[in-house]
Structure 1
């Protein structure tokens, strides 16, 4: 195995990919499918990656309801 500054193990790369998908707004159901997890397992392992998402989600709900930022 070659040394790399990106990750210590292949699992680290996988974790980085799943975290990036979640932070990028890919729905948890889709990420779970891509990662081969159930949604329950995905959220249990990666819940910390979703921290700080409340503002974005609130904005999406407001946009869906037709609210325009003031």
Structure 2
């Protein structure tokens, strides 16, 4: 890793700790609630998919942390 990748890895770590875990936690709770009603109410399917992406946000942050990718 070069110096810029190390700096980006630190930035991704901060995003993961201070934002990523919170987003994933809140979205997982809401996803559980919405997914129960999705079979009965099919219009909730797009909302469930968006919430699932929020659950996977911590994974996205950690992958970018390991690779040292920039935000852009």
Normalising to structure 2: TM-score of the pair? Answer: 0.28
> Of the two structures, which has the highest relative contact order with CA contacts closer than 8 Å and spacing of 6 or more?
2
The answer to which structure has the higher helix fraction is 2
